[in-house]
Structure 1
């Protein structure tokens, strides 16, 4: 099995637990050399436009989602952890999708990085599912947002755009909002959930760093300047706008300088 075939296998697996199991197994096989080749589209396989999904949760448009409950109640914390688990499930597939679509044309280190990200996201999803079980709930018990895969669909043709939007907008936004969630959870005595989110936050710094590193690599190959190129791609492919406050400390740890994103936030004022 090539790495590309392994990635497509994960993407076409609907059961979340099996998606996690395969992700972690394939990541280990890649690191050990049991999967040795990246593969390419000559094998006749193609990544799906949308990954396989279980029957539950019910997927809804963002406007049809129920209002977020406060973390002070158990139901509010279940809703928060469930929403984050859904994000992490999508993140597993986003990581394997970038390997399947773009790995063949990139250095091996590119696949090394995104396989590690996929492994991290699988570990995060599993950790959040365990937390839901401790609450007496499970993934799929609540409806979920169906807008998360859109970033993949609109950037499926362009590696620079994919890197600009997924790690450097969406995951970077996670760095911004997660510390407040952690603080709120600790305030209500839910250290277990807060500890899980801290692990996720710290791992996401390395994911944003990988996105920034490979975005700059692609820009170098195209002989274009990274900052204006990123800003133009975000204007083109991300309609939500960049909003303050930014977690500049964590973004800086990822090597993601304020010169990239501050000017776009100024445009929203």
Structure 2
């Protein structure tokens, strides 16, 4: 080295050891943080960040956190029993918004369902199980955001109408059985959504609401993959 020359700082290469050291938060704890977040906007951002962090190797494949019995919920919408839900008027503007609101709540609940199944049962399956369900969770967060924005465009918002928590209630009954959870949520409840969504798309298109129809078409395509993931893991565990 020439006299007076300054030594260049050595650059450290991020090897496997360093990457592992950075992965100090377990994927289970990250999933639990999504479930414990009540504010919808914050939940959406956190869900997408957790999915991204997992994909980039920033979370440890460890299951050192217990999932809550119920996820945190915002103050609105008011949650009613299914048999107390108000009737939606068919063909009216209010009925159209009420239907969008109902689907928006389903997608909000689906965020929690995806992160719960990954955090609750991920340790009983190969690593790809977490890959699939965090990808599903990120999809559900996007679906919710698209529908919530559509509600605002129509002069409403998520929480403006009551909703029911039947989707989570059905999942809660399978909290200790991964096969039952896979059978009930993706293979029955989400598959049922595939049955009714084409008619909803046609209904909104016929009303001239092409924006909502386009969102539902996007959701429909993603949900096909979600049902397939449920069937794949159910069959692999049988």
TM-score of the aligned structures, taking structure 1 as reference length: 0.78
Q: Tell me which residue corresponds to 2:56.
A: 32
Cross-structure match for 1:251: none
CA contact (8 A) 2:109 2:167 kept: yes
Please give the alpha-carbon distance, in whole angstroms, between the structure 1 residues aligned to 2:234 and 2:185: 11
**Unpaired segments of 5 or more residues in structure 1?**
220-269
Deviation string, structure 1 residues 160-219 (Cα, Å, up to 9, x no partner):
000000000000000000000000111110000000000000000000000000000110
The corresponding residue for 2:138 is 119
2: distance between equivalents of 1:68 and 1:76? 5
Q: Please give the TM-score of this superposition, normalised by the length of structure 2.
A: 0.88
Secondary structure of 2:167's match? Answer: coil
Are the aligned partners of 2:27 and 2:63 in contact in 1 as well (CA < 8 Å)? Answer: no
The counterpart of 1:18, out of the listed 24, 42, 50, is 42
Q: Which residue of 1 aligns with 2:82?
A: 62
Q: Which sections of structure 2, spanning at least 5 residues, go unmatched?
A: 1-24
Counterparts of residues 91-170 of structure 1 (less than 5 Å): 91-170=110-189
Q: Which secondary structure does the structure 2 equivalent of 1:119 belong to?
A: helix
Tell whether the 8 Å contact from 2:136 to 2:226 is kept in structure 1 after alignment: yes
The number of aligned residues is 214
Q: Secondary structure at the match of 2:66?
A: coil
Is the counterpart of residue 90 in structure 1 residue 114 in structure 2? no
Between structure 1 and structure 2, the one with the greater Rg is: 2
Q: CA deviation at 1:23?
A: 0.3
Matches within 5 A, 1:110-259: 110-219=129-238
1:73, CA displacement in angstroms?
2.4
> For residues 37 and 200 of structure 2, what CA distance do their matches in structure 1 show?
31
The RMSD of aligned alpha carbons is 0.8
**Alpha-carbon distance between aligned partners in 1 of 2:57 and 2:39, rounded to the nearest angstrom:** 26
> Could you tell me how far apart the structure 1 residues matched to 2:138 and 2:107 are?
11
